[in-house]
Structure 1
Amino acid sequence: MDKPAAEREALLTEARLSRGPAGALIKYHDVPGLAREKRQMREFNQVDLAHTVMLAEQGILTRNVAKVILQALIELRGMEPAAFPIDPLKGSFLLQVEAYLFSRIGEDIGGQMHTGRSRIDQGTSVRRLYERNRILDVLERLTQFRGALIEKAAKHSRAIMPGYTHMQQAQPWVFGHYLLSIAARLAEDFERLTQTYARVNLNPLGAVGLAGTSWPLDRDRTTELLGFGAVLENSKLGREAFYAADAIASLSFIMATLNDLSTDLHLWSSTEFGFVESDDAYCGTSSIFPQKKNPDGLETVKKAAGGSVTWLATALATFRAEGTGDQAMRDLPLLDDAIETTDGMLELLTGIVSTLVVHEDRMRKALDGSWCTASNLADVIVRKTGLSFRQTHHVVARLVRICVQENVNPSAITVELLNRAAQETVGKTIAIDEPTLRDALDPEVFVRTRVTVGSVSPTEVDRMLAVARSSLADSGAWLAAERARLDQAATKLDAAVYSIIST
């Protein structure tokens, strides 16, 4: 027979509900939620400490009551999450913590910690702290990956290769230039995620359930002690989690960049291209084909990026009924999964890129017999003859057609062939000598003669390397400053706690 309520610990739900939770509700709602919240135990403790300190400083709690609560919370802070006792019947993690405190200091004292707050603003504060910290980890990982890309780009800053559009050779390219284009996208991804970070790092504590409270809470103080960037002002917004969709969108951009890089490297590592090769440590083999070396690491990134395409749509679909204020709308477990996936794929791809084998000789050889300098020949003819680019485009296009049909390699082109093409298209000959014609079709000359900002010329590649390194240094400085600021907030919180405990 169950004990009377007076003889056992009362559950929060018993005062209002006539029956305990169904087994299925516990299994599919309570247990998954508790598992997720248990990972945020450190942040739960921070919020409890800061809120209790603020209540004491505002005179809402007596110093003696606050001292007892804070001592119990410090004891709890030293406990490993795995060792913390969980009883799903007690409800969410906030109530689990309360039950722990009640067992140590009694409900008459422990129950005062919840003064002036709701599970709503307490929970969203915890989640914002946890997600803020994990976003910082992703930013750290992103910085490391950008560093690996930049160093690989520097090593291959003169590696000439074919550049492609529509999967057809278009113009000579440089592998280092390609890697710097990815690094530039990642720099934008970093900036986008820091902007998201600022919107996540707002303090909802004190918004309470919906409309604020009559207790004289100092929301600026908890903002300071928890390292939030600012107070989330409108109390209605304290219960909403659209910031999670914002974060997921930023993470999706990162995954899109990783997918593009992985797809290119995957293609270029095929036997037909042979431009790059993943280190053996990031490859697998076949159970039937002895010769195969499968780029499993790159395929893993591409697979993870496929799922990321739906992250934002799923988040917005989850929030579709936010206007009702439903409990389910205020949390987005998908964000934790997205953070974990992005962080993991950044780590994996950093290793792949750092150890990537680049076959520069194979890249250069792919330009032998290539027509990818044809656009340069057209430019040279324009400068030499005064014909319009459209006219020279016709001439060079006909030249290529003639040579392909007659199996003439670009290196064997003569002025006579060029003039034959010119007569067939524009009805005149072109005054150009053989050395000029040869240089116009030389990939090495092509790369050296690019003059525009951002081009593949050696001077521009070197300049962009310097820009990328400077941007990376700025990102590292921002990260270091933000982590230092959070450390200072943690130090202030500890000082405030021990000031009360030592009274």
Structure 2
Amino acid sequence: MPTRLWHAVILLAASALPAHAQQQALPKESVRDEFFWLGEINKASTVINTEQGLLDRMLAPKLAQGIAKVIAAGNQPGAKRPSTVITFEPLMIKEAGVEVTLIHAGRSSQDMHATYRAAILRDRMLTLADELNRTTRTMVELAATHRGTIVPNYTNGVAAQPNSYGHYLLGLAAGLDRDAQRIRETYARVDRSPMGTTVLNGTSWPLDRQRMADYLGFGALVDNAYDASQIAAADLPVETGGIVTGIALHIGGFIEDVMTQYAQSRPWILLREGGGNTYVSSAMPQKRNPGLLNGTREEASTALSLAMGPIFKAHNIPPGMPDAKDAKANSAMIDSAAKTLQGLDRILKALVIDPDRALEELNSDWTASQELADVLMRQYKLPFRAGHHFASEVVDYAKDKGIKPTDFPYAQAQAIYRKAAVEMSLPVAELPMSEAEFRATLDPVAIVKNRATSGGPQPAEMDRMLAGAKQRLDQQDAWIKDRRTRIATALAKLDADFGKLAKSAE
């Protein structure tokens, strides 16, 4: 057989390489399409059925060479790569004769297509997991950098409380970590081989399903033959769509948080200009539009719309219909989420945060006012609602008079407290806080530093949560590497065994 054919399908040459080189020689996840997996299934069927005595050992090498020629031809630049059993099989017949269909014992396009769909979905999920982990690591590293940067946090679009920007980012990273958990959980259900189940209830041929699963790198078998191509093949894309939805929502929410700053005349967070992050308005010279934010948000919206596809396609149809199973559509859905994550990674690396401006915004509003009620209750046993009433009256007075927290007259605070004490029937008529304590209570930096809540932004808790986040990222990296290694090792083993079978005819 010509040497170029063996190079094309990576047979004997790959088997002679060290393990790490074999993995590098195998096709990347992004090019392992339907044609690739149909080739792998045909190779595995030929090897397994020959060893089990289901295929004539004298005929098998000729069939293997014919299959190798089909794969080699499909791997040529610009060549057609059939994506269905009924378009792949005529090419094998042309190269090896009609006898090649003997390898079709106990098989159907149903279980073969279900198998390549699961394999492609599995590959795409690992790519998505990789992008998610890379972007989350960027976010956690940024959180470590800004663990002591105090900024406003917002609820209902209104500045609400001071917080560490690092703490805020770790909150977002926690959401992305749940997305990573969902990928691992769903992957375990996707990583099951349907091969050997035929159409609905199996076959009378004694096929070795486990050997097939091992060759294709699957971690387990789909247990029920009816489930394999009728149920699981449709509901797993829907489950994957849920993961894509979660990722897109998390990213979209963060982008909108940054976008609101662009409506301010003096924002405390922006994108660094240049490098495709922003662009100049065609009409208004002063404008620097956040193109990277807009583009990534649009990609998140695209991912969301594609994630709805499997749901609507699987809706109101009997089991087994192909609507929700399309590998290309489901791959596009996952790829869109991965592209959105790439955009988020760029955004995180392009953020410019002005700590002084953030602190100025905090001190220009009354985001620390809740702390007045908390301190009065914690230190002086004042009922929270009474302290809240006092703080609210202080804020109303300050906003009416245009007074900032740092400038609020202590005497006026005392007067407001006396009035509130009467209104709330408090036993203590005088404000129990000294002027120094009153002013310290309104300090945003002190508020964040003095938090005592587990999971809060205080330094000790930030250290703990940062360490935990980094550990989870390392564990996820190891998980991705382990799954990829298992698939690559299995495919390398299949190539080696198939190569020996084909070579035996020479």
TM-score category of the 2 structures, normalised to the smaller one: 0.7 to 0.9
Aligned residue in 1 for 2:430: 429
Instruction: Give the aligned residue type for 1:385.
Output: Y
Q: Show the counterpart of 1:104.
A: 95
Partner of 1:5: none
RMSD: 2.2
Does the alignment pair 1:417 with 2:401? no
Conservation of the 8 A alpha-carbon contact between 2:307 and 2:333: no
Query: Relative to structure 1, is the Cα distance of residues 134 and 444 closer, same or farther in structure 2, using a 3 angstrom cutoff?
Result: same
Displacement, 1:322?
4.1
Task: Quote the Cα distance in structure 2 between the aligned partners of 1:106 and 1:256.
Answer: 53
Whole-angstrom distance in 2 between the partners of 1:271 and 1:375:
25
Residue 156 of structure 1: aligned partner: 146
Which of 324, 345, 352 does residue 347 from structure 2 map onto?
Answer: 352
- 1:171 Cα shift? 1.1
> Do residues 42 (structure 1) and 9 (structure 2) align?
no
Deviation at 1:96, TM superposition (A): 2.6
**What is the one-letter code of the residue matched to 1:80?**
N
Shift of 1:363: 1.4
Per-residue deviation at 1:38?
A: 9.4
How far did residue 324 of structure 1 move? 4.9
Q: SS at the partner of 1:208?
A: coil
In structure 2, the partner of 1:478 is 479
Tell me which amino acid in the other structure corresponds to 1:469: K
Structure 1 length as normaliser, TM-score? 0.87
Name structure 1 gaps, 5 residues minimum. 1-35
Q: Is the 8 A contact 2:299 2:339 kept in 1?
A: no
Which residue, 169, 191, 204 being the options, matches 1:201?
191
Name which of structure 1's ranges 213-222 and 195-204 shifts more when overlaid on structure 2: 195-204
TM-aligned CA deviation for residue 267 of structure 1: 2.0
Give aligned-pair identity as a percent. Answer: 28
| Selected match of 2:200 from 210, 225, 240 | 210
d(CA) in 2 for partners of 1:329, 1:139: 22
| Cα displacement (A) at 1:196 | 1.1
Q: Counterpart amino acid of 1:227?
A: G
1:394-437 Cα distance to aligned partner (Å, 9 max, x none): 11111211222233321123332222112222222122211111
**Residues 244, 304 of structure 2: 8 Å contact kept:** no
Cα 1:77/1:332, change in 2 over 3 Å: closer
1:173 pairs with one of 128, 138, 163: 163
Query: Residue in 1 aligned with 2:238?
Result: 245
Q: Does the aligned pair in 1 maintain the 2:176–2:250 contact within 8 Å? A: yes
Aligned counterparts of 2:32 and 2:457: Cα–Cα separation in 1:
51
Measured after TM superposition, the shift of residue 292 of structure 1 is 1.9
Matched, 1:94 2:85: yes
Q: Between 163-172 and 267-276, report the one with greater CA deviation.
A: 267-276
Please identify, of 333-342 and 492-501, the stretch whose mean Cα deviation from structure 2 is larger: 492-501
Amino acid at match of 1:102: I
Aligned to 2:151, the other structure's residue is in SS state strand
Q: Give the CA deviation at 1:372.
A: 0.8
Alignment correspondent of 1:454: 455
Kindly provide the CA deviation profile for residues 54-103 of structure 1, in whole angstroms up to 9, marking residues without a partner as x: 221221111233222222333344442654347xxxx9632332222222
> Of the candidates 115, 129, 136, which is equivalent to residue 146 of structure 1?
136
Secondary structure at 2:163 match in 1: strand
Q: 1:437 to 1:220 in 2, by over 3 A?
A: same
Distance in 2 separating the partners of 1:383 and 1:291: 49
Q: How many positions carry a matched residue from both structures?
A: 463
Q: Are the aligned partners of 1:385 and 1:430 in contact in 2 as well (CA < 8 Å)?
A: no
1:334 aligns with 2:329: yes
In structure 2, how many angstroms separate the alpha carbons of the residues matched to 1:383 and 1:348? 45
Partner of 1:467: 468
- The one of the two structures with greater contact order (alpha-carbon pairs below 8 A, sep at least 6) is 2
CA distance in 1, matches of 2:375, 2:31: 66
Are residues 391 and 219 of structure 1, via their aligned partners in 2, closer, same or farther at CA, if it must alter by over 3 Å? same
